[in-house]
């Protein structure tokens, strides 16, 4: 188990999820790489019988793991190194420099994407941002995330924690989170009696549709 940006991560759970993707994958080791705490990212090393499409593998992991447990880098090797005691040599793997995978640049289109993009540019002092850029991989650190949090609280009427800025590190994933949170908050804001009323109405409509179907079937 390791701790990465405040999250406790079971590396074995990630490794199991990778092996579950296909029986072509033989051996897996996941570890964190990076020179500073804020820039450390998860890297997955694996061997397989055939060439594995790491893009599809990453998509699979995104469906089954929390976003902070999905490795950023993937390296397929002919074989993983082992120690004399027969264990995977993680120290040797940590010396392998895994290059950044170039994400497709997706420029902001919606008004909210553009607003967040401007904030990122201001905080990171950069000229261009893709909505799929990882905040910490393009220059973000613990100080800049605090600055970003302050700006977000000033400009966006949302209750946002710094922990969630560490968790949702791209504009795209952050806005998905905000959208889901807004829907959940909207539901919670409905008074309990009204919520029960809406639930009963929904059940009644479903019963009516079911009765109609039964009627049609009996006529046939």
DSSP secondary structure, 92-139, as one string: HHHTS-PPPP-PPP----SHHHHHHHHHHHHHHT-S---TT--TTTTT
Per-residue pLDDT of the chain (220 residues; tens, 9 = 90+): 788 766 788 999 999 999 999 999 999 999 887 665 556 778 999 999 999 998 899 889 988 888 778 888 899 999 999 999 999 998 898 888 775 555 567 889 999 999 999 999 999 888 889 888 888 777 788 888 899 999 988 887 677 888 888 888 889 989 988 887 664 444 344 455 554 554 566 566 556 655 655 555 555 5
CB 44 within 8 A of CB 30: yes
DSSP secondary structure, 157-200, as one string: -S---HHHHHHS-SHHHHHHHHHHHHHHHHHHTS-HHHHHHHHH
Domain end position, chosen among 71, 95, 119: 95
Q: Which residues of 161-186 are buried (b: 16+ CB within 10 A; e: fewer)?
A: eeeebbbbbbbbbbbebbeeeeeeee
pLDDT at 25: 93
pLDDT at 180: 79
Domain end position, chosen among 95, 119, 150: 95
pLDDT at 185: 45
| CATH number where 125 lies | 1.10.1200.10
Residue 210 forms part of a structural domain = no
pLDDT at 77: 92
Q: What residues contact residue 189 under an 8 Å CB cut-off, 6+ apart? A: none
Same domain, 120 and 89: no
Task: Give the closest residue to 131 by CA, choosing from 105, 168, 110.
Answer: 105
Task: Give the closest residue to 135 by CA, choosing from 110, 56, 58, 147.
Answer: 147
Q: How far apart are CA 70 and CA 190, in angstroms?
A: 35
What's the total number of domains in the chain?
A: 2
Domain range enclosing 72: 2-95
Q: How far apart are CA 170 and CA 165, in angstroms?
A: 9
Instruction: Name the phi and psi angles at 22, rounded to 5.
Output: -160, 150
pTM, two decimal places: 0.53
Residue 196 forms part of a structural domain = no
Residue 84 forms part of a structural domain = yes
Query: How many Cα atoms within 13 Å fall on the side-chain side of residue 171?
Result: 24
Degrees, nearest 5: CA angle 148-151-152: 85
């Amino acid at each position: 188990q390791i701790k990465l940006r405040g999250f406790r991560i079971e590396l074995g759970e990630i490794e199991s999820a990778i092996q579950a993707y296909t029986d072509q994958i033989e051996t897996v080791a996941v570890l964190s790489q990076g020179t500073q705490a804020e820039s450390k990212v998860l890297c997955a090393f694996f061997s397989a019988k055939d060439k594995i499409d790491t893009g599809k593998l990453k998509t699979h992991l995104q469906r089954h793991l929390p976003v902070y447990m999905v490795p950023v880098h993937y390296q397929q090797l002919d074989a993983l190194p082992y120690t004399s005691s027969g264990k995977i040599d993680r120290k040797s793997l940590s010396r392998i420099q895994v290059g950044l995978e170039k994400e497709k640049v997706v420029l902001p289109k919606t008004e909210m994407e553009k607003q967040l993009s401007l904030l990122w540019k201001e905080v990171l002092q950069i000229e261009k941002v893709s909505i799929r850029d990882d905040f910490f991989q393009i220059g973000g650190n613990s100080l800049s995330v605090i600055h970003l949090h302050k700006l977000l609280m000033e400009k966006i009427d949302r209750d946002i924690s710094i922990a969630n800025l560490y968790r949702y590190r791209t504009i795209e994933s952050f806005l998905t989170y905000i959208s889901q949170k807004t829907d959940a908050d909207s539901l919670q804001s409905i008074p309990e009696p009204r919520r029960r009323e809406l639930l009963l109405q929904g059940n009644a409509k479903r019963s009516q549709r079911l009765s109609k179907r039964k009627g049609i079937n009996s006529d046939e």
